[in-house]
Amino acid sequence: MTPRQLIREAGDLVSLPEVCVRINQLVDDPTSSAQEIGQVISQDTALTARLLKIVNSAFYGFPGRIDTIARAITIIGTKELRDLALMTAACGMFTGIPPNLINMERFWHSSLACGVLARRLAKSCQVLHPDRLFVMGVLHDIGRLVMFQQRPIESRDILLISKGRDDLIVAAEREVLGFTHGEVGFELASDWQLPSPISSAIRWHHLPEQATADPMECYLVYIANILADSLVWESDLKVELDRVLPSSWQITGLTPMQCEMAVSEIGSEIRELYSILMGHTQTVSAG
């Protein structure tokens, strides 16, 4: 079994909705227009509603209301809105995963926290197009869901070996399956034709020092993942920061103090986005 074989085995369970496939085609077609992309998205009323809620949320903080997808594309950009659409679709794809393996509410809470933090840290680093980091952060653990779905018994063994600790999960996965959820997520992102920086961040979010491309993005999602864990699982933030690779500070230029400040400021953004993407308003503890 390889990550590629696992994705093939999952088949239609991890296939993008037709609207997302069409959006991908249009974005990659230099002759297509923003109007055409907007028309395709607008055919899916549920997707349209969620995307407009996201772009009108406090997370983006635009001064005026955005009422149409065409306007959203003008403000955010075609590629950025494409990434948001794919991420939104992914959030609703994985169902039926045994609750004894993972609490899905906590999973998406942690993923959204990682996305919000990655974007916030990217802005602190003055990275171009920091909104990309939100999508990277939200999707960073998507490979784990494929593994839970396709290999529940082995996934349970991995959880037992790692004792649920995020810093031990990669070694446990290699011991049981011979590959990691980052590698599975990378193969899925490749199938979905996501941009290279997003695929790289998904693949290397535990091992950014091994990244052969897009190191800044990989390190930012790596740091954001550690910070999100401290937020969701209410662990000691200073202890978590102590396990951050020293090279992280060198590559990104960030400081532990900036990270602590980011964690303290994003609670309301996470709650609002969770409500939009998960389709309900259940309260989650976000600081």
* pLDDT beyond 80 at 286: no
- What's the pLDDT tens digit per position in 134-152? 999 999 999 999 999 999 9
Q: How many Å apart are CA 10 and CA 78, to the nearest integer?
A: 29
Distances (CA, A) of 51 to 60, 87, 169, 258, 284: 12, 10, 33, 29, 21
Q: What's the whole-number average pLDDT of the chain?
A: 91
**Whether 240 contacts 117, CB under 8 Å:** no
Amino acid at 273: L
Residue 186 has a pLDDT of: 97
Distances (CA, A) of 267 to 109, 121, 183: 11, 15, 30
pTM to 2 decimals? Answer: 0.92
**Whether 148 contacts 169, CB under 8 Å:** no
**Whether 259 contacts 241, CB under 8 Å:** yes
Q: Residues 6 or more apart from 45 whose CB is under 8 A from it?
A: none
Q: How confident is the model at residue 229 (pLDDT cuts 50, 70, 90)?
A: confident
* pLDDT beyond 50 at 287: no
* Token representation of residue 174: 């290699």
Task: Give, rounded to a whole angstrom, the gap between the first and last alpha carbons of the chain.
Answer: 40
* pLDDT beyond 70 at 283: no
* pLDDT beyond 60 at 130: yes
Q: What is the DSSP string of 12-37?
A: GGGPPPHHHHHHHHHHT-TT--HHHH
Phi-psi region of 29 (alpha: psi -120 to 50; beta: other; left: phi over 0): beta
Residue 67 has a pLDDT of: 92
* pLDDT beyond 80 at 282: no
Q: How confident is the model at residue 280 (pLDDT cuts 50, 70, 90)?
A: very low
Q: How many Å apart are CA 32 and CA 36, to the nearest integer?
A: 7
Among the listed residues 265, 268, 286, 243, the one whose alpha carbon sits nearest the alpha carbon of residue 120? 265
* Token representation of residue 130: 């920091």
What is the average per-residue pLDDT within 48-73? 92
* Radius of gyration from C-alpha coordinates of the chain: 18
- What's the pLDDT tens digit per position in 150-180? 999 999 999 999 987 888 999 999 999 999 9
Q: How many Å apart are CA 113 and CA 267, to the nearest integer?
A: 8
Q: How many Å apart are CA 140 and CA 128, to the nearest integer?
A: 20
- What's the pLDDT tens digit per position in 255-274? 999 999 999 999 899 999 99
Q: How many Å apart are CA 197 and CA 108, to the nearest integer?
A: 21
Q: How confident is the model at residue 250 (pLDDT cuts 50, 70, 90)?
A: very high
* pLDDT beyond 60 at 110: yes
**Whether 132 contacts 80, CB under 8 Å:** yes
* pLDDT beyond 60 at 284: no
pLDDT over 90 for what percent of the chain? 70
pLDDT over 70 for what percent of the chain? 97
SS (H, E, C) 221-246: HHHHHHHHHHHHCCCCHHHHHHCCCH
- What's the pLDDT tens digit per position in 4-39? 999 999 998 899 899 999 999 999 899 998 889 999
Distances (CA, A) of 28 to 87, 132, 135: 17, 17, 18
Residue 164 has a pLDDT of: 77
